[in-house]
Each structure stands twice: as C-alpha cells, then as structure tokens.
Amino acid sequence: MTKLLLPFALAAVLSGPAAALQPETVVALKTLNLAPDAPDVALVADDEVNGTTLDTLAAKQDYDGIKQFIATRAFYHKFKKNPLVQAPGDDLYKTKFLTAAEKSYIAVQIQAQFGFGTA
C-alpha cells in the first residue's frame, strides 16, 4: 500500500505551494490579516510585474501595495478563466500591477464580451 501512495505523495510535494514567501512577507500578510496560504495569495505568490513581487512590496513595508498587488493579480488570473469575474474596486485594482500584454488582453476580452469599441 505504501508503494501505491508514494507517487501521489511525491506529486503533491512537487506541485505544492507556489513560491515560498519570505518571512517578512508572511509577517506583512499577517499584519494585514491575510493568511499567507489564502487562495488569492497562493495564486499570485510567483507573480512578478516590472520587478515587483509580494516580497519586494513587503520589504518596503508597502501594505497598500501588497493588498493592491494581490487583488489585481488575483483578478487577472481569475479573468483568464472567466471574463465575467467581478473586478476589485478602484481602491484595490491598480493597472500598474499588470503588464502591457495583460492590460491589452483584458481590454480585448471586454470588447469581445460586451461589444465595446465596435460599430
């Protein structure tokens, strides 16, 4: 039985959590009452936009930036799967945390979904 479980255990370890967050990032998340293993945090833990990551924001103690990065990046990942997903509010959704290609993708999908920009 143990030999049967080994491949599954190995797969779970290899596909485990995304990036290991730096200790100061974990502290920053807890300061914001966000669980380091929350689904949205895990969704964006590996993300980098123009050199910005959760870890770089935490190193600067940019708590607003951390919340905005998580909200914006999580929205983008969810939007790719379902363009009807609700965007976060203006206080959290910041396009500076999207690449130019991601901004373009969102715009094209919104135009296609809702017919904006068509004659």
Q: How confident is the model over 39-74, as pLDDT tens digits?
A: 999 999 999 999 999 999 999 999 999 999 999 999
Give CA 63 to chain center in angstroms. Answer: 15
Residue 88 lies in a domain: yes
Q: How confident is the model over 73-116, as pLDDT tens digits?
A: 999 999 999 999 999 999 999 999 999 999 999 999 999 888 87
Residue 30 lies in a domain: yes
Containing structural domain, residue 38: 19-114
Distances (CA, A) of 6 to 13, 15, 17: 11, 14, 19
Residue 14 lies in a domain: no
Q: Which amino acid is at 26?
A: V
Residue 3 lies in a domain: no
Residue 57 lies in a domain: yes
**Helix intervals (H) in 1-119:** 2-14, 23-31, 39-44, 54-59, 63-81, 100-114
Residue 45 lies in a domain: yes
Residue 4 lies in a domain: no
Query: Model-level pTM?
Result: 0.81
Provide the domain count of the chain.
1
